[in-house]
Amino acid sequence: MRHTLWLSGLLWAAAWAQAPVSTIEPTTRAFSDWPYYGGDAGGKKYSGLAQITRANVDTLEIVWTFRTGETGAGYASAHKMTFEATPVFWRGALYFTTGFNKAFAVDARTGRQKWRFDAGIPKDEHYAEVASRGVSLWHDAGLPADAACAHRVFFGTLTGFVHTLDAETGRPCTEFGEQGRVNMTVDVRPTEPGEYTITSPPAILGDTIIVGSAIGDNGGVELARGIVRALDARTGKVLWAWDPIPKDAADPAYSTWQPGSAERTGASNAWAPLSVDTQNGLVFLPTSTP
């Protein structure tokens, strides 16, 4: 199966065709932007675009089609492959990922590929799932707007890494972690290859990116720990970490667990897209089963 991105092209092109120039100026935060997975940092999924209505939606036509070229050929987990990405939109481009962690920037007006990046994950691993719901964008207020990596794309991989790329060029921002990536499998407890993955885009709060994980749960007891971590968006340094399962006897929640069970079990991970309250400095974390 070839994965095709056409619906976004249809909607954005239709909106552009009818919108005044002021609403699509790439340097402004207008209604035509969709800079987060959920539309805004809080995940409201609301758009103020009004050109497409119930009265004209049946007249929309496809204006371009983009194919990622990903068929799953050569991957041991090809039978699990999905395409779940919600593109984000910024400066006239759509940014998204594929199940096997190829990242793309596509011109939203023409459907032309601007750049492509392959995270290069191993093809012979059996991954718990093959999904990637997309990317997050971050803008460095401390750099000139035209500086390298002043605008960054973040996404996770099926191997448990977080990558960051220059949104304009698709090149890794090498000052982040080790040559543009951070290994999030550190300190989560040993796990089988392919069981600890990152399938949702990080949440962005100020100069911090907050990352959960997807774990092959319900298949065992002693699984990887579902630790949620915040990273410095510039350097990749871990700023804080939180485990949904209490491991400290001083934690009030610890007493609600049967003796020894909190230390033994794992998972309870936050695999779904996260959202934040930027005004109050909060992140909302939906967790899975331990």
Instruction: Tell me the pLDDT tens digit for each residue of 173-198.
Output: 999 999 999 999 999 987 888 999 99
**Which of 284, 183, 267 has its CA nearest to residue 226?**
267
| Average pLDDT of the chain, as a whole number | 90
pTM for this model (two decimals): 0.89
What's residue 230's pLDDT? 98
CA angle at 81 for the pair 78 and 87, rounded to the nearest 5°: 145
The span from the CA of 144 to the CA of 140, in Å, is: 8
Quote the pLDDT of residue 25. 38
Span of 43-52, 121-130, 213-222, 230-239 with lowest mean pLDDT = 213-222
pLDDT value at residue 7: 46
What DSSP state is assigned to residue 202? P
Question: Rounded to whole angstroms, how far apart are CA atoms 161 and 209?
Answer: 13
**Which among 45, 42, 37, 47 has a CA at the least distance from the CA of 15?**
47
The answer on pLDDT for 200 being more than 90 is yes
Return d(Cα 290, Cα 39) in angstroms, integer: 30
CB 235 within 8 A of CB 248: no
pLDDT confidence of 2, banded at 50, 70, 90? low
Q: Give pLDDT tens digits for 104-154.
A: 999 999 999 999 999 999 999 999 999 999 999 999 999 999 999 999 999
Give the pLDDT confidence score for residue 16 in this predicted structure.
Answer: 45
Proportion of the chain in helix, strand, coil states, percent, rounded to 5: 10, 25, 65
